[in-house]
Amino acid sequence: MRVLLVEDDDRVAGALIPALVRRGLAIARLATGAGVLERVHEVDVVLLDLGLPDIDGVTLCRQIRAVSDVAIIVVSARGEVDDRIQGLRAGADDYLVKPYDVEELMARVEAVRRRRGENEPVVIRVGDVSVDLSRHEVLVDGRTVALSRKEFQVLALVAGARGAVCSREHVLTEVWGHRGPAESRSLDVHVATLRTKLGRPALIETVRGVGYRLGGQVARS
* Amino acid of residue 171: V
Q: Give the nearest distance from C-beta 19 to Ca ion in angstroms.
A: 18
Instruction: Find the residue with minimal CB distance to Ca ion.
Output: 51
Q: Give the nearest distance from C-beta 87 to Ca ion in angstroms.
A: 13
**Measuring CA to CA, which residue among 113, 110, 8, 5 is closest to residue 55?**
8
Q: Give the nearest distance from C-beta 64 to Ca ion in angstroms.
A: 17
Q: Is 137 in the site for Ca ion (CB under 5 A)?
A: no
For Ca ion, give the closer residue by CB, 42 or 56: 56
Residue 69 phi, psi dihedral angles, 5° rounding: -105, 30
Q: Which residues ranging from 8 to 47 are in contact with Ca ion (CB under 5 A)?
A: 8
For Ca ion, give the closer residue by CB, 6 or 171: 6
Q: Give the nearest distance from C-beta 7 to Ca ion in angstroms.
A: 7
In angstroms, the CA 177 to CA 183 distance is 9
Answer for which of 5, 6, 40, 49 binds Ca ion (CB under 5 A) is 49
State the burial class of residue 106 (Cβ atoms within 10 Å of its Cβ: 0-12, 13-18, 19+).
middle
Give the count of residues interacting with Ca ion (CB under 5 A). 3
Q: Give the nearest distance from C-beta 202 to Ca ion in angstroms.
A: 43
Spell out the alpha helix ranges (H) of 43-130.
57-67, 81-89, 102-116
Question: Is the Cβ–Cβ distance between 92 and 62 less than 8 Å?
Answer: no
HSE-up of residue 186 (Cα within 13 Å, Cβ side): 16
Q: Which residues would be at the binding site for Ca ion (CB under 5 A)?
A: 8, 49, 51
